[in-house]
Amino acid sequence: MKKTFLIVFAILFSLTTSFAGGGNKYGKELSLKVKTKVSAILASPKDFVGKKVLVEGNVVGVCEKRGCWIELASDKPFQKIKVKVKDGEIVFPLEDKGKSALVEGEVYEIKLTKEQAIASGENEAKEHGKKFDSTSVTGPVTFYQIKGIGAVIK
């Protein structure tokens, strides 16, 4: 009886620990324990610039060329944030789209002139086989991303 109990306990313990740490791991081991909501970052991004954060969300986009970025859905509808990684250091597979991700990285700001924003929009449209209306850019653009250093995707 005691032996059966120990065997059942060992099986349950191994299943619990394998699910708890499950998922595909990319880059460095996650070190932060407290999660920051994507919506909090997007609501006041300047408060987070230069700070390391741990965010969670569904992967709604993956770089189709090199796997060098993913986009995470926010906890609020119609919001998302891009997580960019160093090219070749981490490669996210296209199959990660639709999965849940836990990502650690540093928030940073990107400022583009009107001309740079137009060029960026044209480039992105070309990559996705879409048309881009350059008149939609009316001036300089500032946006925020996360420089990803580690991720777990389930």
**pLDDT reported for residue 21:** 57
Helix (H, G, I), strand (E, B) or coil at 93: coil
Residue 125 has pLDDT above 50, yes or no: yes
pLDDT tens, 68-86?
A: 999 999 999 999 999 999 9
Residue 4 has pLDDT above 50, yes or no: no
- Mean pLDDT in residue range 124-150: 91
- Mean pLDDT in residue range 25-47: 97
pLDDT tens, 97-121?
A: 999 999 999 999 999 999 999 999 9
- Mean pLDDT in residue range 5-16: 37
Non-local (6+) Cβ contacts of 64 within 8 A are 94, 127
Percentage of the chain exceeding pLDDT 70: 86
Query: What is the value of pTM for the model shown?
Result: 0.80
Better-predicted residue by pLDDT, 115 or 88 = 115
**pLDDT reported for residue 64:** 86
* 3-state helix vs strand vs coil in the chain, percent to 5: 30, 35, 35
- Mean pLDDT in residue range 2-6: 40
**Measured distance CA(94)–CA(83) in Å, rounded:** 14
Rounded alpha-carbon distances, angstroms, from residue 103 to 72, 138, 145: 9, 33, 12
**pLDDT reported for residue 8:** 35
Sketch out the chain's domains with CATH numbers: 24-153 (2.40.50.140)
Better-predicted residue by pLDDT, 21 or 20 = 21
